[in-house]
A and B are shown apart, each in its own frame.
Chain A
Amino acid sequence: MAGLRLEEIGKIYGSLAAVQDVTLDFPQGKFVCLLGPSGCGKTTLLRLIAGLETPTTGRVLLDGKDLTEWPAHKREFGMVFQSLALFPHLTVGENVAYALRIRGADRPTQRKRAQELLELVRLPGVIDRHISQLSGGQRQRVAIARALALNPKLFLLDEPLSALDAKLREAMQVELRLLQQRLGISTIVVTHDQREAMTMADIVVIMDHGRVQQVASPLDTYRSPANAFVADFIGTSNLIAAILQSPTSASVQGRAIRIERLPQGVSTGAQVTLSVRPEEVHIRPAGEAGENRISGEITFIRDLGASIEVTARCADAEILAVMTPRERPSARIGDPVMVELPAPACVVLKQ
């Protein structure tokens, strides 16, 4: 089968399990983001794929071939490091052509290829400069060009944009995505920035505590999070305790809330968590009747201009609602209100 496959990969450092029981398929030509908080094992997983670490258990397969025991320098994967790791003693061109030099290519060939690659990352005319003469964004491009020098089967990036300022980072995300699509290269990026993952990825792998929590398209991780961790990590979410009463209804603070979807393996009477995105929550006037409403009291209003965030306390739950200025409720802090959790927006999560 084409593409990279990880089989029951585990990595243990002393008594710490950095990666546990990861089985994943990375289809050919896809852009995959490994996403998770720091210490979740995403960088370790990338380094295991690169061959910079050896797994304690499991196998790494590329196109069906077992690479587990191969050292990093024989795998021929391109990698961009977090520190970029550009060689300070070489010029831009020598950095980019380093892999060709290792393979014994002659100087004109090295230079020609370096020129091609620098044009590919839209950085012409810097081939003879020193690394210290480049800006952060330019160094980023050099690191990308260097990693692509051998047309690698797999392009790995470890938090590649973390050193850039916010504006440049967003521009580079788009550019990296376009470059990947143009080359059709299988790409794996480690990031802790969910916006970055949303912008670039075909598939997002969300990790926590060394385990894979969900593998899905970016939109699916947002709309149908697999568990409370994913719901909370991707964007903001109201997580509300509920008891399942029937396949179409859950009880929240004694009120029946209609639901439309149920995860597998949850039976009536079970404790569940409802995940509702703040932009789906509506604040209604107190006493107005309607489906899926619970009563509460406004505790805080944050007017950000472009959007308004209203926090309401409903018994022991704080519920956040985000709305446009047009939808601003007339209520003020301390007023009783009804909080509506529309049925299509309620995602039921197992506890």
Chain B
Amino acid sequence: MNGAPPKGLQQHSAVIYPAVMLLIFFVAPFGIMLAVSFYHRVESAFYEPAFELANYARFLTAFFGKALGFSIWIAALASAISVAVAFPFTYFMTRLGRPAQVRWLVLILAVLSLSEVIIGFAWSSLLSRTAGVSNILVWLGLMAQPEAWTPAFSALLIGLVYLGFPYTVLVLYPALSRLDPELAQASRMLGASPFKTFFLVIVPVLRNAIMSAFIMVFVFDLGAYILPQVLGKPEHWTLSVHITDQAVFQSNIPFAAALAIFLMLVSLALVSLTMLLGQQRRTP
């Protein structure tokens, strides 16, 4: 790029193409959703154009406030666990030879190809009383009788971590594989044990990668709407589930749109806040 005004079709298309794509796939649907969120719902029909704030006023109730709080809490917890598990995993993976790394990445990509539905029902069976892992523990003599571990908060958490784990690994992988191994060695030569080196050098040097991984999995987990229904109790329904419920089962599209916009604004605010905190730490 030389800063001169673009000439000819080829140079113009470099600007126009992304703009058109953005318009078709983001601006237009978002605009429609924004408009619908102010529409008036017609009972036993669909909706009619209007401008009312009733949809927004409705979720200022304790019920939806609680759902929002729970959504953020479980998404944050699940993504924190995902990062905490995936970071050491990816670190040790990048220390392996090339062929071993490729094998692990293929495995991770295979897990990635599983849909939320399959993951949800697989964990639901694994944690069930009739066919779950508790039967193995009974067989080993560690438990008296099989128990159902789902639906439960812990079941939902396991499902979300499982869902987010491969994404976390793939976001962390490039940064970790570029990490200069001499940094860790320098720390060891200066007297730091491998454990101290990990927390004093490797983690802080990769702060930005860890932050991006966290934000990505957080947003991803926030959008999960099948796992809470399969692995959670009704009180574990996240805002995403309520949006689905309103749109699909209650046919209240305007309210679902309003909820979706609200969830988006909240997650945008949280992501910006996280990034702002990250930047402040960097330049004291």
Q: Taking beta carbons and an 8 Å cutoff, which residues of A are in contact with B?
A: 50, 52, 71-79, 81-83, 85-89, 98-99, 102-103, 146-147, 149-150
Contact = CB atoms under 8 A, between A and B. Distances in A.
Given A87-B201, A88-B205, A99 B190 contact: yes
B182 A98 contact: no
A103 B191 contact: yes
A85 B191 contact: no
27 contacts: A52-B185, A52-B188, A71-B188, A72-B188, A72-B189, A73-B189, A73-B191, A73-B193, A74-B191, A75-B189, A76-B191, A79-B185, A79-B186, A81-B182, A81-B185, A85-B183, A86-B186, A87-B187, A87-B201, A89-B201, A89-B204, A89-B205, A99-B190, A99-B191, A102-B192, A102-B200, A146-B190
Nearest to A88: B205
B183 A87 contact: yes
Given A52-B188, A73-B197, A146-B186, 5 more contacts: A73-B188, A78-B189, A85-B182, A87-B186, A89-B201
B205 A87 contact: yes
A77 B205 CA distance: 24
Interface in B177-215: 180, 182-183, 185-194, 196-197, 200-201, 204-205, 207
Interface string B167-182: 0000000000000101
B180 A85 contact: yes
Main secondary structure of the interface of B (DSSP, over half): helix
Contacts of B192: 73, 98, 102
A147 B189 contact: yes
A89 B180 CA distance: 14
B95 to A, nearest CB: 14
Interface in B50-86: none
A50 B189 contact: yes
B205 A98 contact: no
Contacts of A99: 190-191
Q: Specify which of B180, B186, B192 lies most central, judged by the most chain A CB atoms within 10 Å of its CB.
A: B186
Contacts of B200: 102
Given A78-B189, A102-B191, A147-B189, A83 B182 contact: yes
A15 to B, nearest CB: 15
A126 to B, nearest CB: 16
B207 to A, nearest CB: 7
B183 to A, nearest CB: 5
Contacts of A89: 201, 204-205, 207
Contacts of B205: 87-89
Contacts of A52: 185, 188-189
A85 B182 CA distance: 6
A81 B186 contact: yes
Interface in B256-283: none
Given A83-B182, A85-B185, A89-B207, A150 B191 contact: yes
Contacts of A149: 190
Q: Which 8 A-B pairs have the closest CB atoms?
A: A85-B186, A85-B182, A99-B190, A79-B189, A81-B182, A89-B204, A72-B188, A73-B188
A89 B186 CA distance: 14
Contacts of A79: 185-186, 189
A89 B207 CA distance: 9
A82 B180 CA distance: 11
Contacts of B187: 87, 98
A85 B191 CA distance: 15
Contact of B180 (A71, A77, A83, A150): A83
A102 B190 contact: yes
